[in-house]
Structure 1
Amino acid sequence: MESEGGDFPRPTEAVAELIKAGASFVLTAPPESIAEVNRAVMHPIGMEDVVGDPDLLAMALRMNEGNLHHWAASNVARPGARVPVNVIDEAIAFVRDVVRRGFDAGALDSFRTAQNASWRLWMQICFELTDDPAALRELLELTSLSIATFIDDTVKELADQINVARAELAGDTHAQRRAAVALILEGAPVSPARAEAQLRYSLQGPQQALVIYGEAGVAPDNLEEICEAIMEASGVTRRLTVLAGAAELWVWLPTEKLILSEVLAANPTVRVAAGSLGHDREGFRRSHFQALEARQMVTRLGSELSFVAYDDLALMSAMTDDLAKLDGFVAHTLGALTTADTAIVESVRTWFASECNASAAAARLYTHRNTVVRHLARAQELLPRPLEANATAVAAALEVLRWRRAD
């Protein structure tokens, strides 16, 4: 990357050879020399937040080592020439994460401290290369300019990228929330105060995560309306939402009570997947990942049900990822009951869910107890093995069948 300063002074042939020799040594420098540069990166004033973030610190250290090697390799190839900025994927990722964490260009101070430590290392090398005062002076003057300019160019380029990224993020509230939420989900050490300021949502207390999604063509505004309706039905006044896709909304509600059956009944093109109720930061993360898993699982199962809770699918999720194997288990366990009348299958499943109490099952099904008893008797005839000899497997198979059916 050329700046307005033009080309550097060309070194004499003898000094060019010295630069090549020194740069070659840098490329093979012992680990303890690089460690000195890394230690310097960790202590400048204003770097406390970066040093306190293991991921960001590791990235900064890798970039500094990469810049050191990049400068040396460039001087082996073109001794004394201006070194172009080493803008690689790692640098772009660093800029992104700096902005997502709410930092500014002050996070680039690590490059300045690395420059000082690198210069001390380079001077030691230079004094080993020659005893000629004139050659040593030219060598130090040229390489001092080279190192300083390379760091200046690098910091300027990254600062420009940070400013652009901050401007883009400031103009997109969903992008801001996505960035802040991503940090929490990744387990980044963001302080509670910073997290709440960025999210405008508290990570303390109950956390109920939802994934609200719809068929192709469902507008984001429709998903927001569904979310508002669920909040109203559940008696919730606060929420955190992130637009995760064209027809998918991630939602967190600070509630232990979720009411949404009437809302979904009135909106057949929208579906909801819910994680288990969690608490505080870890509950915020776990409930969300469970909601995502439930959404993926119900899609793979081919269910058309509008609502799925992770707790209902946890058993199947743990059983297998192989749907053919899962279907084989159902057919083997249930036999002819697999294709029996839906009312019989649902009676048996509800009987299990009601702790094998026929009266309680009848109440949940809004039917007579005798109907449940009759359905249980018919199921006994259809099962390949007696129910009492295989009850656990039958209950699990009925749960799978519930989600594998499209009705």
Structure 2
Amino acid sequence: MTWVDPAPRTRELIRQAAERALQNPDEWVTPVHEATLSAPTTAAIAADPALADALRRANFDNLLAWATANVRAPGDRVPPNTSAVQLDVARDLVRRGLDDVSLDAYRTGQNVAWRAWMQICFELTRDADELEDLLLVSSTSIADFVDGTIGAVAERMAAERDELTRGSQAERRDMVALILEGAPVPRLRAEAVLAHPLDGDHVAAVVWTTDRDSDLGRLERVAEELMRAFGARQRLTVVAAASTLWVWLPVATAPDRAALEAALRRTPEVRVAIGNPARGVEGFRRSHHDAAEVRRLVARLGTADQLVAFADVQLAALVTRDQARAEEFVAQVLGDLADAPAELQETVRAYLAELGNASAAAARLFTHRNTVLRRLVRADELLPRPLASDPVRIGVALEVLRWRTVEGA
């Protein structure tokens, strides 16, 4: 593409527009996130919290790279974005078999970003000649940048695909994908590929990190701690993404939760979701789906807990499948109690868990019975309906609220 040197006035307008975009990047980037993750072609990416978060980072990284370049040298050609963020996303998508559809997200993001950019341009000048030149140069620059970035990402995907097809990790991942999809794979063949028994008990886990700069070594160490906590002698581990491991343990026992939580505190950026124990090939599949559901719930509600088991959140997972309706349910049932101090909510939860026994609730909370009674009176003042008249719905609403952080509330 022949690059035309923009006029000085056009360069100045591009610089001003880029500065405006960088002043409120979230306002510019959020519509791009929503559009790229709501497209039919990216439904599989949107359904996976790790991949969705990676795509959001890639969108932000692209917009930041282009705008920053045009503040520094407005109107100059912007080189393709080959940052670690873009290349990590490419690797993750290939590992999940989603590379064929993922590049569409770049085009979708380009179209949405262009509309936001035009709005900024229209606010800067109403001179027809200036505006025409500004839009022409901008559209050429954005298209060239996106084309180059797509090309670089596609090259990385090709290299990653070639690398994965040569290793046993790819064969294990492909076999796991077939099992999870319910394909009629002969058990003995699957066990030979995975080097993992499928006819016994299984507990699945998803191990991931919230730190994009963290390495797989940290996740592997947590997987080792997970194995020790369950008393397992072996594990099956599949790299699902640069920031995520899928783990299966051939056990049906409960973990040493205190030891595992203590180990996790040494890596505060790592999270673990654990499925229910199950047996056989179907159990291998179901326990993983449980753990993946916990992972999605954690992303949806934003809980900060490092270790969450499916048994902990099964009720909340069912209720919050439709998040908007879940929020409405919590607000209607709890009223002002939804915004009350955590100790008041925890007292009501403990009281309901002890079937209305205030003394047992006090023992569970390590407090005095009179303190529990005073808190219950206060809770009744905040609830739309008295606790005694609606205990089941109040208990469910509090269970949903329990897994939300302050930021997610």
Q: Specify if TM > 0.5.
A: yes
Instruction: Provide the residue aligned with 1:79 in structure 2.
Output: none
Q: Cα distance, 1:316 vs. partner?
A: 3.1
Q: Secondary structure at the match of 2:289?
A: helix
Q: Cα distance, 1:397 vs. partner?
A: 0.6
Q: Cα distance, 1:328 vs. partner?
A: 1.8
Instruction: Provide the residue aligned with 1:314 in structure 2.
Output: 314
In structure 1, C-alpha distance between the alignment counterparts of 2:364 and 2:195, rounded to whole Å? 41
Q: Cα distance, 1:310 vs. partner?
A: 2.2
Instruction: Provide the residue aligned with 2:393 in structure 1.
Output: 393
> What amino acid is the match of 2:318?
A
Instruction: Provide the residue aligned with 2:284 in structure 1.
Output: 284
Mapped contact 1:349–1:398 kept (Cα < 8 A)? yes
Q: Deviations over 1:85-104 (max 9, x none)?
A: xxxxxxxxxxx9xxxxxxxx
Mapped contact 2:333–2:397 kept (Cα < 8 A)? yes
1:186 to 171, 181, 184: 181
Could you say which structure has the larger radius of gyration? 1
In structure 2, C-alpha distance between the alignment counterparts of 1:402 and 1:266, rounded to whole Å? 24
Cα RMSD between the aligned structures? Answer: 2.4
Distance 1:283 1:329, change over 3 A: same
Unaligned runs of 5+ in 1: 1-95, 97-164
Mapped contact 1:244–1:250 kept (Cα < 8 A)? yes
Distance 1:220 1:319, change over 3 A: same
Mapped contact 1:273–1:309 kept (Cα < 8 A)? yes
Mapped contact 2:320–2:400 kept (Cα < 8 A)? no
Q: Deviations over 1:347-370 (max 9, x none)?
A: 211332344433443343333344
Alignment of 1:3-402 (within 5 A): 171-215=166-210, 216-255=212-251, 256-259=253-256, 260-402=260-402
In structure 2, C-alpha distance between the alignment counterparts of 1:195 and 1:288, rounded to whole Å? 16
Q: Cα distance, 1:302 vs. partner?
A: 1.9
Distance 1:177 1:356, change over 3 A: farther
Mapped contact 1:208–1:253 kept (Cα < 8 A)? yes
Mapped contact 1:234–1:258 kept (Cα < 8 A)? yes
Q: Secondary structure at the match of 2:204?
A: strand
TM-score (norm 1): 0.56
Q: Deviations over 1:82-122 (max 9, x none)?
A: xxxxxxxxxxxxxx9xxxxxxxxxxxxxxxxxxxxxxxxxx
Q: Percent identity?
A: 48
Q: Number of paired residues?
A: 244
Unaligned runs of 5+ in 2: 1-96, 98-159
> What amino acid is the match of 1:204?
D
Q: Cα distance, 1:170 vs. partner?
A: 7.0
Mapped contact 2:347–2:372 kept (Cα < 8 A)? yes
Q: Secondary structure at the match of 2:304?
A: coil
In structure 1, C-alpha distance between the alignment counterparts of 2:325 and 2:300, rounded to whole Å? 13
Distance 1:320 1:345, change over 3 A: closer
**More moved, 222-231 vs 368-377:** 368-377
> What amino acid is the match of 2:232?
V
Q: Secondary structure at the match of 1:404?
A: coil
Mapped contact 1:304–1:406 kept (Cα < 8 A)? no
Distance 1:177 1:314, change over 3 A: same
> What amino acid is the match of 1:264?
L
Distance 1:311 1:223, change over 3 A: same
TM-score (norm 2): 0.55
Q: Deviations over 1:276-312 (max 9, x none)?
A: 1111111110110111111112211122221222233
In structure 2, C-alpha distance between the alignment counterparts of 1:371 and 1:251, rounded to whole Å? 44
Distance 1:385 1:167, change over 3 A: closer
In structure 1, C-alpha distance between the alignment counterparts of 2:325 and 2:318, rounded to whole Å? 13
Q: Secondary structure at the match of 2:227?
A: helix
Instruction: Provide the residue aligned with 1:13 in structure 2.
Output: none
In structure 2, C-alpha distance between the alignment counterparts of 1:198 and 1:181, rounded to whole Å? 10
Distance 1:266 1:317, change over 3 A: same
Q: Cα distance, 1:168 vs. partner?
A: 5.7
In structure 2, C-alpha distance between the alignment counterparts of 1:302 and 1:381, rounded to whole Å? 29
Distance 1:372 1:206, change over 3 A: farther
> What amino acid is the match of 1:185?
L
